[in-house]
């Protein structure tokens, strides 16, 4: 996983250097892509559920930023918000799974949880009282599955993936090939011993995987936009991986995941080059001119498409560990289930052939000859991916034993399928079955075309049914419309009702009433307390102060202070008159004064001495 994530991310970033040249958000783009890649690397390396959840959320945040990269366009902003909310729904289940794992195992260490899974196989948890107990590991794995289905865009939580095409094409290659959508499959394979103890979850996983494979392939066959074809193709391929996990073929799912990363990244980058050169939205029903098509890129596109189309059949019949012995009616599979896996594989071939032919031939009055706008380094980048692609195509047949030995130490292998010896004996029967189904489909197509040519003007029953089926598929099964009718509009309507009835009708009116009450209380306080008590109290206090001042002025100033001042003046006047009596001009008066003064000085000296 680390090699796959870093290799594809490195190629995408090298491709983006030229692709995003001149864009105003060039620096922001590479910051988000680098954070995205780092978060995915840490997610793969995490050995703790809490750490895994942190980087799981970081990957979701980066996808929100990259899908809404051109946020000035409403479609990009809506797509980013849609991806964010759908993933939060799945992440809520993932978070509950982490809490239940802590309650069950007493730790969040991944190795401990995997090692002790068998010890808790028979335990139950009461979620609806004593009569509503559920097997603990079944509930735990179903909650894990919620997060995986949202992250890997599996039915019915796939609705965010087609809208994620609003992101720049290199981002689409990164999200759809090596990072975000692969996290769910990786997480299931990482905790495969836990899922092996929950047969109910494995059955749900098989049904969801097959439904996603069929639905994605069917919608891809009728989509008019190249990037949407690739988006639903990713959903279909991931459905095969989920189905493989549900059947216990975890190693085969990881092999398919790694091979799909090489195929899909090359398809996205090549399609992105074509879209960039034509500088217009490519609608598949209108063919492209191939004038000036760069031969290397042409063969790279064809090679990656053929390799990707080959993967579902090869995964079904690849050696003893293929899905064919696990879904064949001779074992425990149902004939309808067995047939539908081949139908999805055949539809993969159809929509990829349609995609490549649409990119190869496109004409019209405004058609632009395809010219090589990317630098020569693109040839080396695409060539590297092509080598990996072509080397991976045949490895399920000629190199599966090596891959099995390589993965044996990390993943358990099918425990729910046929024995290896019996499985190996079905390889020739599988090839014959594939040839028979292919020839039958071709014969049916020829017969149907002949019947349509000779059909009367009035449409027959098959024409009406096929037209109805086409309308349903071209509208993507009306899943978005169902979500709008069942979830989005009711929730928004309920929110509007809460806003009008509760927020405006109750809360706002309550605050208005409270403000009226407070205003009345304030007016009463102003009239009764401030005017009736405080103002009158201050008036009485001022009268008292004024009376005290007048009393002080009248009685103290006139009766005491004036008299004291007058008394002091009279005393000094008497003293002055007494002193004047000594100024008589007679000698004996002065002599007496000298004697008295000498006696006083002598007395003071004796007292002080």
The rounded distance, in Å, linking the Cα atoms of 12 and 18 is 11
Whether residue 197 is predicted with pLDDT greater than 50 in this model: the reply is: yes
**In a 3-state reduction of DSSP, which class is residue 133?**
strand
DSSP state of 609: -
**552 DSSP assignment:** I
H or E stretch at 134: strand 133-135
Integer Cα distance of 301 and 304 in angstroms: 5
**How many CA within 13 A on the CB side of residue 61?**
12
Residues contacting 254, CB < 8 A, separation 6+: 1, 185, 186, 189, 407, 411
pLDDT tens per residue across span 255-297: 788 878 877 877 777 766 655 555 444 444 444 444 444 445 5
Helix, strand, coil percentages in the chain from 3-state DSSP, rounded to 5: 80, 0, 20
Task: Please determine, for residue 516, whether its predicted confidence score (pLDDT) is greater than 90.
Answer: no
More confident residue, 81 or 342: 81
Residue 343 and residue 180: Cα distance in Å, rounded? 27
pLDDT, tens digit, 9 for 90 and up, residues 467-509? 777 777 777 778 888 888 888 888 888 888 888 888 777 888 8
Q: How far apart are CA 66 and CA 11, in angstroms?
A: 17
Q: Say which range, 147-151, 445-449, 576-580, has the weakest mean pLDDT.
A: 445-449
- Report whether pLDDT(39) > 70: yes
**Which DSSP category does 320 fall into?**
G
Confidence bin at 176 (pLDDT 50/70/90): confident
For every residue of 361-410, DSSP letters joined together read -B-STT-------S-THHHHHHHHHHHHHHHHHSHHHHSHHHHHHHHTTT
pTM of the complete model beyond 0.85: no
Query: 576, exposed or middle or buried, with CB in 10 Å at 0-12, 13-18, 19+?
Result: exposed
DSSP one-letter code for 119: G
**Prior bond to 184 cis, omega within 30?**
no
Q: Is 287 helix (H, G, I), strand (E, B) or coil?
A: coil
pLDDT, tens digit (0-9, with 9 covering 90-100), for 287-324: 444 444 444 556 666 666 666 666 666 655 554 445 54
Query: Sorting pLDDT into bands at 50, 70 and 90, what band is 421?
Result: very low
pLDDT at 55: 93
In the prediction, which pLDDT does 558 show? Answer: 64
- What pLDDT, on a 0 to 100 scale, did the predictor assign at position 275? 56
| 385 pLDDT higher than 80 | no
Show the DSSP H helices in 247-393 as ranges: 250-278, 295-317, 324-327, 335-360, 377-393
| Confidence grade of residue 56 (pLDDT, cut at 50, 70, 90) | very high
Tokens of 403: 């891959």
Top-confidence residue, 4 or 419: 4
Weakest-pLDDT range from 73-82, 112-121, 315-324: 315-324
pLDDT band at 161, cuts 50/70/90? confident
- pLDDT score of 141: 93
Q: Would you say residue 252 has pLDDT above 60?
A: yes
Give the number of other CB atoms < 10 A from CB of residue 220.
25
Of 14, 67, 15, 77, nearest in space to 36 by CA: 67
Q: Over the chain, what is the mean pLDDT?
A: 73
Q: Is the pLDDT of residue 332 over 70?
A: no
Give percent of the chain with pLDDT exceeding 90. 9
Asked whether the predicted pLDDT for residue 236 surpasses 60, the reply is: yes
Q: For residue 230, give every residue at least 6 positions away whose Cβ sits within 8 Å of its Cβ, in sequence order, or none.
A: 165, 172, 176, 264, 267, 268, 271, 355
Q: Is the pLDDT of residue 396 over 60?
A: no
- Tell me if 101 sits within 8 A of 179, measured CB to CB: no
Q: Which of 89-98, 167-176, 399-408, 491-500 has the highest mean pLDDT?
A: 89-98
- In this predicted structure, what is the pLDDT of residue 50? 92
Instruction: Tell me what percent of the residues of the chain surpass a pLDDT of 70.
Output: 66
What per-residue confidence (pLDDT) applies to 313?
A: 60
Q: At 60, is the secondary structure helix, strand, or coil?
A: helix
pLDDT digits (tens, 9 = 90+) for 539-584: 778 888 887 777 777 776 666 777 777 778 888 777 777 766 666 6
Q: Quick check: 342 pLDDT over 80? A: no
pLDDT of residue 162: 84
Which segment of 3-7, 30-34, 313-317, 387-391 scores lowest on mean pLDDT? 387-391
Any residues with CB less than 8 A from the CB of 484 and at least 6 apart, and which?
A: none
pLDDT of residue 338: 66
Collect all residues with Cβ–Cβ distance below 8 Å to 222 and sequence separation of at least 6: 470, 473, 474
Give the pLDDT of residue 98.
94
User: What confidence score (pLDDT) does residue 311 get?
Assistant: 64
Distances (CA, A) of 374 to 14, 29, 177, 370, 395: 11, 19, 21, 12, 31
8 Å CB contact between 142 and 196: no
Better-predicted residue by pLDDT, 608 or 116: 116
Cα–Cα distance measured from residue 312 to residue 300, given in angstroms and rounded to the nearest whole number: 20
Quick check: 63 and 164 in contact, CB under 8 A? yes
| Residue whose pair of structure tokens reads 């005017």 in the numeric block | 531
**Cα–Cα dist 407/411, whole Å:** 6
pLDDT of 187 reads 92
pLDDT at 537: 74
């Amino acid at each position: 996983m680390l090699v796959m994530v870093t290799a594809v991310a490195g190629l995408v970033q090298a491709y983006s250097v030229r692709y995003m040249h001149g864009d105003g958000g060039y620096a922001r783009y590479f910051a988000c892509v680098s954070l995205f890649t780092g978060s995915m690397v840490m997610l793969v390396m995490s050995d703790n559920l809490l750490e895994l959840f942190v980087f799981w959320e970081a990957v979701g945040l980066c996808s929100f930023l990259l899908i809404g990269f051109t946020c000035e366009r409403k479609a990009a902003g809506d797509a980013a918000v849609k991806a964010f909310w759908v993933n939060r729904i799945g992440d809520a289940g993932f978070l509950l799974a982490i809490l239940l794992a802590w309650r069950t195992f007493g730790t969040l260490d991944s190795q401990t949880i995997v090692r002790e899974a068998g010890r808790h196989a028979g335990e139950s948890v009461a979620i609806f009282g004593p009569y509503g107990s559920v097997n603990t590991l079944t509930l735990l794995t179903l909650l894990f599955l919620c997060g995986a289905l949202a992250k890997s865009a599996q039915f019915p939580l796939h609705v965010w993936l087609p809208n994620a095409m609003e992101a720049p094409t290199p981002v689409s290659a990164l999200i759809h090939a090596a990072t975000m959508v692969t996290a769910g499959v990786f997480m299931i394979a990482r905790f495969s011993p836990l899922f092996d103890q929950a047969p109910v979850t494995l059955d749900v996983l098989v049904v969801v995987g097959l439904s996603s494979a069929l639905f994605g392939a069917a919608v891809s066959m009728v989509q008019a936009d190249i990037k949407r074809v690739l988006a639903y193709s990713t959903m279909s391929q991931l459905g095969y991986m989920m189905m493989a996990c549900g059947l216990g073929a975890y190693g085969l799912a990881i092999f398919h995941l790694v091979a799909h990363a090489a195929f899909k990244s090359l398809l996205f980058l090549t399609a992105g080059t074509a879209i960039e050169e034509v500088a217009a939205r490519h609608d598949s029903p209108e063919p492209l001119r191939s004038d000036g098509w760069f031969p290397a890129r042409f063969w790279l596109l064809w090679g990656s498409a053929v390799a990707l189309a080959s993967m579902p059949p090869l995964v079904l019949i690849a050696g003893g560990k293929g899905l064919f012995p696990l879904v064949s009616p001779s074992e425990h599979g149902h004939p309808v289930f067995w047939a539908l896996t081949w139908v999805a594989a055949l539809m993969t071939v159809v929509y990829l052939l349609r995609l490549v032919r649409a990119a190869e031939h496109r004409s019209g009055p405004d058609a632009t000859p395809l010219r090589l706008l990317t630098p020569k380094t693109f040839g080396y980048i695409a060539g590297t991916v092509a080598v990996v692609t072509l080397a991976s195509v045949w490895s399920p047949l000629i190199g599966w034993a090596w891959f099995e030995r390589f993965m044996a130490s990390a993943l358990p292998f099918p425990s729910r399928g046929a024995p290896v010896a019996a499985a190996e004996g079905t390889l020739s029967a599988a090839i014959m079955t594939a040839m028979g189904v292919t020839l039958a489909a071709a014969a049916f197509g020829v017969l149907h075309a002949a019947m349509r040519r000779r059909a009367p003007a009035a449409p027959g029953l098959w024409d009406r049914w096929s037209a109805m089926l086409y309308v349903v598929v071209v509208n993507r099964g009306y899943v978005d419309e169902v979500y709008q009718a069942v979830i989005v509009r009711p929730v928004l309507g309920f929110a509007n009702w809460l806003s009008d009835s509760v927020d405006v009708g109750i809360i706002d009116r309550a605050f208005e009433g409270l403000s009226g009450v407070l205003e009345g209380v304030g007016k009463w306080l102003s009239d009764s307390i401030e005017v009736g008590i405080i103002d009158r109290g201050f008036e009485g206090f001022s009268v008292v102060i004024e009376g005290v001042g007048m009393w002080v002025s009248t009685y103290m100033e006139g009766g005491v202070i004036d008299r004291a001042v007058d008394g002091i003046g009279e005393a000094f006047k008497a003293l002055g008159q007494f002193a004047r009596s000594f100024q008589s001009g007679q000698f004996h008066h002065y002599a007496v004064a000298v004697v008295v003064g000498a006696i006083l000085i002598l007395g003071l000296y004796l007292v002080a001495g």
